[in-house]
Structure 1
Amino acid sequence: MHAVFLDLQTFSIAGTEATDNNATSALEAIKGQVTKLSCYRTTAPEQVLERCQEADIVISNKVVLDKAILSRLPRLKLICIAATGSNNIDIAAARTLGIAVTNVSGYAGASVAQYVFAQILEYFNQTSHHNRNTELGLWQQNPTFCLHGNAITELAGKTLGIIGYGNLGRSVAKIATAFDIRVLVAERANAESIRPGRCDFNHLLRHSDIISLHCPLTPKTDKLLDEHSFKQMKTNALVINTARGGLIDNRALLTALKNKEIACAVLDVLDQEPPPADHPLLTSSLDNLKITGHIAWASEQAQQRLLDAIADNIRAFKAQKRLNRLD
């Protein structure tokens, strides 16, 4: 079976040199399940049909495969999404055309949780600030043995609110308990009843010192954190989003940060990716807004787990077993 990987550059460990059949060791598990693996760093919309024409299997992280494209690929048998989210694939069309679709989940819990706490610790310990003070020679010039700069705040006794309690949210909660942090888990917004172990969504907004987003982007969660949400939060609240950029109303966030309605926001995702140079959050120049480029998931180990899981999905498909099937 001939497999085509359309956007290999979304994986750093696979290497940008891994094009055509010159794939690196990170892809060995996938190569072992196919007769040929053709890899492309990126694929533009106008290149999809040509590159997939002879493929039995297409591997795509974010390249869109809609009904118009799928209907023109009669040889295609399996689509492997190199991620958990499936919004780039027309699954209904695939099902009608008899094309199997798989995704991968549960590979990034440790990586995302580590990122979340790296940002939490940076914020409350002010590590970069204190390192910089010594680099500037301020400690060397200080009359006492310790150089006090920005305040250091203990995490013990803080409240962490988690919105979205799947593998990622649970992984963050697990680490939080080691710091003696109280964990609140939100029930869905506007839910009529609250499940055991969860709390009202608005209660979480009002009582959390840290809010971490881990829920999917759906019509119901689009702009989940809006002007009303931010006004309910503590003025010292830290908001971290490693899920999807569309969960936050950009304009409302900027207003909340400028007016000090919340203390800080750390975003690893935006509503447009890659974002345009004039994206309002990137041009804000706010010192209480930190943005990274969608890398919370991307530890070397998590990337390898994902690639190996794609191989498992192909192996199961060949054996006529349903593993991680979405169709």
Structure 2
Amino acid sequence: MTSSSSPLRVVFLDRSTIPPNTRLKSLPFSNKFEVFESTKPEEVRERVCDADIVITNKVKLSADVIAHAKRLKLVAIAATGADNVDMNACDAMGISVCNVRNYAVHTVPEHTFALIFALRRSLTAYRSAVQAGRWKASGQFCFFDYPIKDLTGSTLGIVGDGALGKATAEIGGALGLKVLFSSFKGRNDMGMLYTPFDRVLEESDIITLHCPLNDQTRDLIGDAEFARMKRRPILINTARGGLVNEAALVRALKDGSISGAGFDVATEEPLPEANPLNEILDHPAFILTPHVAWASEEAIQALADQLMENIGAYVAGQPRNVLNAPRTTGW
């Protein structure tokens, strides 16, 4: 409960990143809720300067913006990743940051395997070929222009052992894949449950990323790592743009170091014209989806519910899902 009778100002900077049919629960305290469908970088500072609580999905909160938000007590992220918020600046200002967790435990692994199935069986390549008249031109009941491989018996390397990585492993095991959980890059002392990162690169037929983007994971996979992929795997990234060096990915796909790639993320979104991924958008073994792995209707509603519940809990003095040192009370 707030200690003041005046309503708290809650600002949602990018409501359009959540579909309009997704319901936002009412907040259980007196508030002035201001919603912006989107916020440009030059508009952020003005919109948060007198806010008590800021909700953001992808809008960046820089150190400069945070320094001028004198009333700000809580940043509620409408996502799991927090790389768009300057955590050090929040710590310095005594601002708590909370996120949404485990809402995508079904939708992201399912999207991951949709990409895996599509690439291992060349579904999009065959669909495009049929549309172009190749089937009719073949003169027979089928044609074999693109590779088709079973999943059963293959090795699935998973980088990231959180809820999403574990859910992906469960599906993989049910499909008859051998599952390897990667240790942190450069670490060989994490125990028997983990396989050294370099061995995962060398032994996997499929590699899928489910780790956060931070200083340790940025460019986790580049030219040197692609060179170690002896089995020419397919590479899946439904986690964060920046985990894979995109120019190196283009080179690896073109020179055959990997058999295919399925990405749902890019370093900059939407994809700018200068991004090297544009060079392979029409490659038969490359699939790029527009950051929608998280976006099943069920998952988005669960995200929205948890988002508003996080804010209510914080103001009630029972903070949860806090990423930095939480305040012990709300107001």
TM-score computed with the length of structure 1 as normaliser: 0.87
Q: Which amino acid in structure 2 is aligned with residue 40 of structure 1?
A: F
1:55 aligns with 2:51: yes
Aligned counterpart for 1:96 among listed residues 92, 97, 102? 92
**1:236 Cα deviation after fit:** 3.3
Q: Secondary structure at the match of 2:10?
A: strand
Aligned counterpart for 2:16 among listed residues 9, 18, 22? 9
* Pairwise CA RMSD: 2.4
Q: Secondary structure at the match of 1:195?
A: coil
Match of 2:115?
Answer: 119
Deviations 1:149-183 (A, max 9, x none): 44432211011100111111111111111211110
Separation in 2, partners of 1:46, 1:141 = 55
Which stretch shows the higher mean deviation, 166-175 or 190-199? 190-199
- Identity of matched residues, %: 37
Number of residue pairs matched?
315
Any residues of structure 2 matched to 1:66-85 within 5 Å, and which?
66-85=62-81
Q: Which amino acid in structure 2 is aligned with residue 4 of structure 1?
A: V
1:181 aligns with 2:188: no
Separation in 2, partners of 1:170, 1:34 = 40
Aligned counterpart for 1:147 among listed residues 142, 147, 161? 142
Q: Which amino acid in structure 1 is aligned with residue 199 of structure 2?
A: H
**1:316 Cα deviation after fit:** 1.1
Q: Which amino acid in structure 2 is aligned with residue 230 of structure 1?
A: F
1:232 aligns with 2:228: yes
CA contact (8 A) 1:33 1:311 kept: no
Match of 2:239?
Answer: 243
Separation in 2, partners of 1:315, 1:197 = 38
Separation in 1, partners of 2:289, 2:269 = 12
Any residues of structure 2 matched to 1:182-201 within 5 Å, and which?
182-201=178-197
1:295 aligns with 2:292: yes
1:276 aligns with 2:272: yes
CA contact (8 A) 2:159 2:181 kept: yes
**1:48 Cα deviation after fit:** 1.7
Aligned counterpart for 2:309 among listed residues 308, 312, 324? 312
Q: Where does the alignment leave 5 or more consecutive residues of structure 1 unmatched?
A: 16-23
Match of 2:328?
Answer: none
Separation in 2, partners of 1:240, 1:232 = 16
**1:294 Cα deviation after fit:** 1.3
Separation in 1, partners of 2:184, 2:148 = 34
**1:291 Cα deviation after fit:** 1.5
Q: Which amino acid in structure 2 is aligned with residue 114 of structure 1?
A: E
CA contact (8 A) 2:281 2:287 kept: no
CA contact (8 A) 1:79 1:99 kept: yes
Separation in 2, partners of 1:142, 1:278 = 38
Q: Where does the alignment leave 5 or more consecutive residues of structure 2 unmatched?
A: 1-7, 325-331
Runs of 4+, deviation exceeding 3 Å: 30-34, 126-144, 148-152
**1:138 Cα deviation after fit:** 7.2
CA contact (8 A) 2:160 2:182 kept: yes
CA contact (8 A) 1:108 1:302 kept: yes
Q: Secondary structure at the match of 2:321?
A: coil
**1:275 Cα deviation after fit:** 2.8
CA contact (8 A) 1:31 1:37 kept: no
**1:219 Cα deviation after fit:** 2.0
Separation in 2, partners of 1:285, 1:74 = 45
Q: Which amino acid in structure 2 is aligned with residue 312 of structure 1?
A: E
